[in-house]
Amino acid sequence: MEKTPRVSVIMIDGSFRESFHAIDFFCNQTLRPDEYELIWVEYTDAVSPELQAQIDKYTHARIIMLGRSGLYHSSYCFNAGIMAARADLVVIPDADVVVEPDFLESVWHEHQALDKLAMYIHRLDEPEAAHKTPANLGHLKNVCEIRSPGNFGGCLTVRKKWLLVINGYEQHPVFASGFHGNGFDINMRFRSLGLYILWHPTLRLYHPWHPFTASTSAKTLAKKQNAVSRYRTHHLLTDAFEGIDPARNTPLPEDLAERLERIDEQQTGEQVHTKPVRAESRVRRLSRKIKGTRRNDIRG
């Protein structure tokens, strides 16, 4: 009989990842290979030969392809990974980070002391000027710095059952695209559910530099996602409106839907009264703003 793993690691992709180094770091841990699994969830119906070769090196790693098309929606990947996870404890890191060899073992031990725990790990980022390839743990530990202390999308660790209780990640179209506030949204719902929230004092994620890729519509999306999350928090709502279990899905409350419409109208009005600027300049300004935010994560 196949042994049930202690930990399930879920990484997501929409055929946009340029490097797959995280697989090596997460598949070479102090836990034995039969004690954990790595699930790579691809939004589309194909993966690169490079990714397949990385996964094939490890018996405890596998790929799930959703076969979806159109605008990338990370929540479908998160939820598919959650449903496929065989372990009680789920670890959902950014899929391009580097970690210490005892990372998963340390996470597992923390969760043995408290059942109702949602634990996060601070992500440190490599400055562009110090960027080196391939990803190297020693180098990253020397040069990385915390740029977003409240990056809830860097890595979530929580028992699978709590993700199922809240109906998983939000699949409503407002959370679509590569720029998403899923990390903040899940955190707010866990708080309303009554889970204890912990930022681990010593564990760290090391994130190699890569070009920023958010779209120019990211600002409006962030406003709308934040509005949904804060509405839920105000009304102590924990469930996704469109989540893992279709039978539990519900329409957006009318007053929330109207609020989202007003955000769209406001953005349209701002565009009319704004002088045209080069798209790349707008993205650069948005990038600087996002580096300082505490509430959103980028492509988790």
Residues 6+ apart with CB under 8 A from 246: none
Separation between Cα atoms, residue 187 and residue 119, nearest integer Å: 10
% of the chain at pLDDT higher than 70: 86
- For residue 229, the one-letter residue type is S
Average pLDDT of the segment spanning 72-95: 97
On whether the CB atoms of residues 244 and 168 are closer than 8 A, the answer is yes
Give pLDDT tens digits for 109-121: 999 999 999 999 9
User: Are 179 and 218 in contact, with CB atoms under 8 Å apart?
Assistant: yes
Q: Is the pLDDT of residue 34 over 90?
A: yes
The tens digit of pLDDT for each residue in 17-30 reads 989 999 999 999 99
Q: pTM of this prediction?
A: 0.87
The tens digit of pLDDT for each residue in 200-256 reads 999 999 999 998 744 446 778 889 999 999 999 999 999 999 999 999 999 999 999
So what's the architecture of 1-300 in CATH? Alpha-Beta Complex (3.90)
SS3 state of residue 211: coil
What mean pLDDT, rounded, does the chain reach? 89
What per-residue confidence (pLDDT) applies to 44?
97
Identify any residues that bridge with 113 across adjacent strands, giving them in sequence order.
none
Domain ranges (residues) in the chain: 1-300
pLDDT band at residue 283 using 50, 70 and 90 as cut-offs: very low
